[in-house]
Amino acid sequence: MSDFTFWVIFSNLLLALRWTIALSLVAFVCGGAVGLLMLFARVSKIGWLEALTRGYIEFFQGTPLLMQLFLLFFGLALFGLEVSPWLAATLALTLWTSAFISEIWRGCVESISRGQWEASSSLAMTYIEQMRYVILPQALRIAVAPTVGFSVQVVKGTALASVIGFVELTKAGTMLNNATFRPFLVYSLVALMYFALCFPLSFFAKKLEGRLNAAR
Amino acid sequence: MPLVDIRDVRKSYGAVEVLKGVSLDIAQGDVAAIIGRSGSGKSTLLRCINGLETYQSGSICVDGVEVAGEKTNLRELRRNVGMVFQQFNLFPHLTAAQNVTLAPKVVNKTGETQAMDLAKEMLAKVGLSDKAGNYPSQLSGGQQQRVAIARALAMRPKVLLCDEITSALDPELVNEVLRVVERLAKEGITLILVTHEMRFARDVGTKLVFMHAGKAHEEGPPKALFDAPRTPELRQFIGAPA
Amino acid sequence: MTYKLQFGELLPYMGVLFEGLLFTVVLTLISTVAGVGLGIGGAAARTFGPPWAGRVFVIYVELIRNTPFIVQLFFIYFGLPALGLKLSESQAAFLAMTINLGAYSTEIIRAGVEAVPKGHIEAGVSLAMTKWEVFAHIILKQALQKIWPALSSQIIIVMLGSSVVSQISAEDLTYAANFVQSRNFRAFEAYFAVALAYLGLAIVMRAMLRGIGRLMFPGH
């Protein structure tokens, strides 16, 4: 009986894990795309655009992700927009991810020395050309490790989608706990599955960071 | 009995033997200058004397206590052996006075007012009474090194080890540090200095030790050795005519 | 359908919201002190402690950093009673926050400790200090100074993350927002106002942490 329960819990959690992975991937890819736009706006040297992005980033970095989810899920519904948990979760995680990732990337861009900007502008390159051919290729190399590192935060962030009823790993855990009354077992397994997902990413990020430091 | 008694000390890093049987006596009140090429083992020898480095065989006794002895209390030993480093190693989060009083307060449990007096006395000794409240980053290299000397003296050590204490300084700052050391020498403090300042070694030292290939190759009174080196290695090192 | 924003509807609930804010502030304050204390101990154990203690902290840090806070919270609140440890909502929230911040600050402070030049340790040892005296008087403050900005950011992240404790019915600011919108059906207003309150709290905390940093590490 006990063995049977274990396998029911385990297999159901594994099924739900797919949704955690799917949500993470979508949020990471979309968040990265929006983040790139934010990055360009943030370093555009156009005053109002910079101020706007700064406000955007401040809001999404300075408020709880849970609050952002609630605003999108419950808040938008009041305006007549029908928002499913999946859509609200994707949207909130995308915006949240973009704010953090654009700041991480900005740090990488700004770590490229002034000399590189001066050298390329003395070669008569435009701002876009400087970015495209000189700055970004260098920044990209530095950005890989912290970006992989942040993907761990995205995976963990998807757990909050459970709160608005999206059935991913954490929500499945809550439901299975309600059905089996085995909280210790259920949440241990849930934690282990997140760990199995996140630890390789953390480890890989650390490896990359070490290699980059050694190369410099 | 010599204050510092070094007998046939050997030390290797893996396969590389740095000290190949060094023997040396340093008496109370000696000012011993250790010279030699880089890699000859001078700094390693100095660091062995206060237990910063361990050695594989031989013995080093300070005031009759074996440094590497099984029952030796290194903490007790280090109260008697002060050290000044090439890179100063001042604690950047503490003022000059706090740098001086930290160890007396922590190790010797000196009271606050007594510690203040101690800081005043020691900083005066190195001519920096006006810099008590300054942080290391606000001091010149020469001033930082003088604070480091005051810090070591505050423990009232029986012997002070100086490891190339002017090597990291700009040339114009070297003299202010050497003058402080000279004054200490005149006060009778036992000093062991690893140094590249040949003139200083000759004028202030009471004993010269030339380290070569992991051994105390030649030793004696500085003036005599500088004027008439006995071995070709020392002759070549100090650039004296053959 | 058009929806008219009416923030005035929040006014009758200001007391509830304020109590929630107070809970969040106190929760953050206590778990920050406890969590950073735990982090200092962890960093000391990892750099100067016996190997077994170092390993224990490595496992602890990796387990916490690679699982979501909400799962840690559920594990403590729902899972631990199975082992006979029954905690109230507030106790569980406090414990989860402390354990979470403790892991991150262990890692952050350890990085600071390792950045302290080896010469400073040798200088301390030469002055007859023991390795724990060297850690307490020479290394720790320098390490904290180096990593203070990173630690400050982490403390704010943990404060924002605390909104999750509403899910075990700990009566924090988010819990208050849920309560208000369930009464006046003004979800957007309630959540938006509370989001701004969190933002304000984050800004105030950042300024305060910077001020504390300046007080603790003068002269640089």
Q: What's the ipTM?
A: 0.91
Regarding beta strands B57-62 and B4-13, do their DSSP bridges make them parallel or antiparallel, or are they unpaired? Answer: antiparallel
Residues in chain C closer than 8 A to B151 (CB atoms): 123, 127
Measured CA to CA, the distance from residue B147 to residue B137 in angstroms comes to: 12
User: Smallest Cα–Cα separation from C27: which of C87, C90, C111?
Assistant: C90
Q: Which tens digits make up the pLDDT trace of A4-46? A: 789 999 999 999 999 999 999 999 999 999 999 999 898 888 8
Measured CA to CA, the distance from residue A142 to residue A107 in angstroms comes to: 10
Q: Is A105 exposed, middle or buried (0-12, 13-18, 19+ CB in 10 A)?
A: buried
Q: Which one of A65, A156, A184 has the shortest CB-CB distance to C82?
A: A184
Segment A78-100 shows an average pLDDT of 92
Q: Which one of B78, B85, B148 has the shortest CB-CB distance to C128?
A: B78
Q: What is the pLDDT of residue A2?
A: 63
Measured CA to CA, the distance from residue C112 to residue B210 in angstroms comes to: 41
Residues in chain C closer than 8 A to B101 (CB atoms): none
**Alpha-carbon distance B182 to nearest alpha carbon in chain C (angstroms):** 22
Q: What is the pLDDT of residue A1?
A: 46
Specify the amino acid at residue B107. Answer: V
* Range in A74-78, A91-95, A135-139, B39-43 with the lowest mean pLDDT: A74-78
Tell me, yes or no, if the pTM score tops 0.95.
no
Touching C (3+ Cβ pairs <8 A), the chains are A, B
pLDDT of residue C187 exceeding 90, the answer is: no
Average pLDDT, chain B: 92
Q: Which one of B52, B103, B138 has the shortest CB-CB distance to C122?
A: B52
Cβ–Cβ under 8 Å, residues C157 and A103: no
- Give the A:C interface size as CB pairs under 8 Å: 131
Q: Which tens digits make up the pLDDT trace of C65-116? A: 999 999 999 999 999 998 889 999 999 999 999 999 999 999 999 999 999 9
How far, in whole angstroms, is CA C132 from its chain's centroid? 26
Cβ–Cβ under 8 Å, residues B81 and B152: no
Measured CA to CA, the distance from residue A143 to residue A102 in angstroms comes to: 11
- Check CB contact under 8 Å for A191 and C72: yes
Residues in chain C closer than 8 A to B77 (CB atoms): 128
Q: What is the pLDDT of residue C103?
A: 98
Q: Which tens digits make up the pLDDT trace of B144-190? A: 999 999 999 999 999 999 999 999 999 999 999 999 999 999 999 99
- Check CB contact under 8 Å for C164 and A66: yes
Grouping H, G, I as helix, E, B as strand and the rest as coil, residue C50 is: coil
Write the DSSP symbol of residue B129.
Answer: G
**Alpha-carbon distance A165 to nearest alpha carbon in chain C (angstroms):** 12
**Alpha-carbon distance B224 to nearest alpha carbon in chain C (angstroms):** 34
Angle between helices C118-126 and B141-153 (to 10 degrees): 30
Segment B83-101 shows an average pLDDT of 92
| Residues A140-169: b if buried by 16+ CB within 10 A, e if exposed | eebbbbbbbbbbbbbbbbbbbbbbbebbbb
Angle between helices C187-216 and A47-62 (to 10 degrees): 90
Segment C143-161 shows an average pLDDT of 96
Terminal C-alpha separation, chain C: 59
Measured CA to CA, the distance from residue B204 to residue B47 in angstroms comes to: 22
Q: Which one of A62, A163, A195 has the shortest CB-CB distance to C63?
A: A195
Write the DSSP symbol of residue A60.
Answer: H
Q: Which one of C117, C127, C141 has the shortest CB-CB distance to B93?
A: C141
Rg (CA), chain C: 21
CA-based max dimension of chain A: 76
* Range in A15-29, A105-119, C132-146, C183-197 with the lowest mean pLDDT: A105-119
Chain C touches chain B, with at least 3 Cβ pairs below 8 Å, answer: yes
| B65 Cβ neighbours under 8 A, 6+ residues apart | B72, B76, B77
* Range in A51-60, B64-73, C155-164 with the lowest mean pLDDT: B64-73
- Check CB contact under 8 Å for C127 and B103: yes
Q: What is the pLDDT of residue C91?
A: 96
Q: What is the pLDDT of residue A216?
A: 56
Chain B touches chain A, with at least 3 Cβ pairs below 8 Å, answer: no
Residue C220: pLDDT band with limits 50, 70, 90: low
- Check CB contact under 8 Å for B138 and C219: yes
Q: What is the pLDDT of residue C184?
A: 85
Interface test mutation site (partner C, options A68, A82, A152, A156, max chain C beta carbons within 10 A):
A156
Please provide the CATH number assigned to the domain covering A6-215: 1.10.3720.10
Q: In chain C, where are the structural domains located?
A: 12-216
Long-range interactions of B104-111: CB distance < 8 A, separation 24+ = B104/B154, B104/B155, B106/C129, B106/C133, B106/C137, B107/B75, B107/B79, B107/B155, B107/C127, B107/C128, B107/C129, B107/C133, B108/B79, B108/B155
Asked if C3 has any chain A CB less than 8 Å from its own CB, the reply is yes
Measured CA to CA, the distance from residue C194 to residue C192 in angstroms comes to: 5
- Give the B:C interface size as CB pairs under 8 Å: 70
Q: What is the pLDDT of residue C69?
A: 98
Q: What is the pLDDT of residue B100?
A: 95
* Range in B133-147, B228-242, C56-70 with the lowest mean pLDDT: B228-242
Measured CA to CA, the distance from residue C114 to residue B214 in angstroms comes to: 32
pLDDT of residue C218 exceeding 80, the answer is: no
Specify the amino acid at residue B164. Answer: E
Neighbouring CB atoms inside 10 A of A114's CB total 8
Grouping H, G, I as helix, E, B as strand and the rest as coil, residue B61 is: strand
Residues in chain C closer than 8 A to A75 (CB atoms): 187-188, 191-192
Interface test mutation site (partner A, options C191, C198, C209, max chain A beta carbons within 10 A):
C191
To which residue do tokens 């904290």 refer? C144
Asked if C182 has any chain B CB less than 8 Å from its own CB, the reply is no
Average pLDDT, chain C: 93
Q: What is the pLDDT of residue C219?
A: 57
Asked if A21 has any chain C CB less than 8 Å from its own CB, the reply is no
Q: In chain A, where are the structural domains located?
A: 6-215
User: Smallest Cα–Cα separation from C28: which of C210, C204, C213?
Assistant: C204
User: Smallest Cα–Cα separation from B86: which of B144, B33, B32, B134?
Assistant: B144
To which residue do tokens 């190399």 refer? A141
User: Smallest Cα–Cα separation from A189: which of C97, C77, C71?
Assistant: C71
The class of domain C12-216 in CATH terms is mainly alpha
Q: Which one of C67, C81, C166 has the shortest CB-CB distance to A191?
A: C67
Write the DSSP symbol of residue A130.
Answer: I
Hey, which bits of B85-206 come out as E strands?
A: 159-163, 190-194
Residues in chain C closer than 8 A to B107 (CB atoms): 127-129, 133
- Interface list for A 81-140 with C (CB within 8 A): none
pLDDT of residue C1 exceeding 70, the answer is: no
pLDDT of residue C15 exceeding 50, the answer is: yes
Write out the two tokens for A179: 């059905």
Chain C touches chain A, with at least 3 Cβ pairs below 8 Å, answer: yes
